[in-house]
Chains A and B, each alone.
Chain A
Amino acid sequence: MKYLDEYRDSTAARILLDSIRRRVSRPWKVMEVCGGQTHGLLRYGIEEELQGTVELIHGPGCPVCVTPLESIDFAQQLSMMHTVSGHDVVLTSFGDMLRVPGSRGSMLEAKARGAQVRTVYSPLDAVDLAKKNPKQKIVFFAVGFETTAPATALAVKQAANDGVDNFSLLVAHVRVQPAMEALLESPHNRVQAFLAAGHVCAVMGCASYESLVQKYQVPIVVTGFEPLDLLEGILMCVEQLEKGEARVEIAYARSVRSEGNLSAQRIVDEVYEVCDRPWRGFGVVAKGGLQLRGEWHKFDAQRRYMSCHTLPVIEPRECRSADVLAGRIKPLECEAFGRECTPDAPLGAPMVSSEGACAAYFRYRTPEAGR
Chain B
Amino acid sequence: MMGDPHKNAVFSLNCPSTAHANNDRVLLAHGEGGRMMRKFIRDTIIQRLAGDRLAGERLLSMDDAARLPKIEGPIAMTTDSFVVSPLFFPGGDIGSLCVFGTVNDLAVSGARPLYLSLSLILEEGLSISVLDRVLSSIVVAAKQTDVQIVAGDTKVVPRGAADGLFINTTGIGQLIEPIMLGPSRLREGDELIVTGPIGRHGIAVLCAREELALEPSPTSDCGSLATAAAALHEKLGASLRAMRDATRGGVAAVLHEWADACRLTLAVDESDVPVSSDVRGACELLGLDPLHIANEGTMLIAVEQGACDEAIAVLRALPETRQAARIGSVVSKQASPVTITRMFGRQQPLDEPQGAPLPRIC
Contacts and interface: CB of A to CB of B under 8 A. Distances in A.
Contacts of A46: 343
Interface of A: 1, 4, 8, 10, 13-14, 17, 43-46, 48-49, 95, 99, 108, 121, 125, 227, 343-344, 354, 362-369
A364 B277 contact: no
A4 B100 CA distance: 34
Contacts of B348: 43, 45, 364-366
Given A4-B284, A366-B349, A367-B349, A13 B344 contact: yes
A13 B349 contact: no
B344 A367 contact: no
Contacts of A365: 348-349
Of all A-B residue pairs in the complex, the 6 with the closest CB atoms, nearest first, are: A45-B346, A363-B351, A44-B343, A10-B343, A366-B335, A1-B277
Contacts of A1: 277, 280-281, 284
Interface residues of B, number: 22
Contacts of A125: 210
A161 to B, nearest CB: 22
Contacts of A227: 343
B61 to A, nearest CB: 44
B217 interface: no
Contacts of B357: 95
A108 B354 CA distance: 13
B275 to A, nearest CB: 9
10 contacts: A17-B344, A45-B342, A45-B344, A49-B344, A227-B343, A343-B354, A344-B354, A366-B334, A366-B335, A366-B347
B212 interface: yes
Given A45-B346, A344-B354, A364-B349, 11 more contacts: A10-B343, A44-B342, A95-B357, A108-B355, A344-B355, A363-B349, A365-B348, A366-B334, A367-B335, A367-B336, A369-B335
B277 to A, nearest CB: 5
A1, A46, A99, A227 — most chain B CB neighbours (10 Å)? A1
A7 to B, nearest CB: 11
Say what secondary structure dominates the interface of chain B.
loop
B336 A366 contact: yes
Interface hub of B277, B335, B343, B348 (most chain A Cβ within 10 A): B343
B5 interface: no
B355 A99 contact: yes
A314 B270 CA distance: 41
B160 interface: no
A304 B158 CA distance: 36
B287 interface: yes
A368 B346 CA distance: 16
A365 B339 CA distance: 11
Nearest to A9: B343
B281 to A, nearest CB: 6
Contacts of B334: 366
B334 to A, nearest CB: 8
Contact of A48 (B277, B346, B351): B346
A102 to B, nearest CB: 17
Interface in B207-224: 210, 212
Contacts of A8: 343
Interface string B281-299: 1001011000000000000
A59 B91 CA distance: 43
Contacts of A343: 351, 354
Interface centre among A108, A344, A363, A367 (most CB of B within 10 A): A363
Interface in B315-362: 334-336, 342-344, 346-349, 351, 354-355, 357
Given A343-B354, A367-B335, A367-B336, A14 B349 contact: no
B280 A13 contact: no
A354 B357 CA distance: 12
A173 B136 CA distance: 50
A363 B351 CA distance: 5
A350 to B, nearest CB: 15
Contacts of A369: 335
Contacts of B351: 343, 362-364
A121 B357 CA distance: 12
Interface centre among B281, B336, B346, B347 (most CB of A within 10 A): B346
A316 B259 CA distance: 34
Contacts of A367: 335-336, 349
Contacts of B336: 366-367
Nearest to A371: B335
B210 A43 contact: no
Contacts of A95: 357
B181 to A, nearest CB: 29
Nearest to B346: A45
A73 B110 CA distance: 51
Interface string B10-42: 000000000000000000000000000000000
A8 B357 CA distance: 26
Nearest to A4: B284
B286 to A, nearest CB: 8
A4 B283 CA distance: 12
Contacts of B355: 99, 108, 344
A256 to B, nearest CB: 19
Q: Which of A125, A343, A362, A366 gathers the greatest number of chain B CB atoms within 10 Å?
A: A366
Contacts of A354: 287
A214 B288 CA distance: 40
Nearest to B354: A343
A364 B343 CA distance: 12
B268 to A, nearest CB: 15
Contact of A43 (B277, B335, B342): B342
A192 to B, nearest CB: 25
Contacts of A363: 349, 351
A49 B343 CA distance: 10
Interface in B240-271: none
A36 to B, nearest CB: 9
Contacts of A48: 346
Contacts of A108: 355
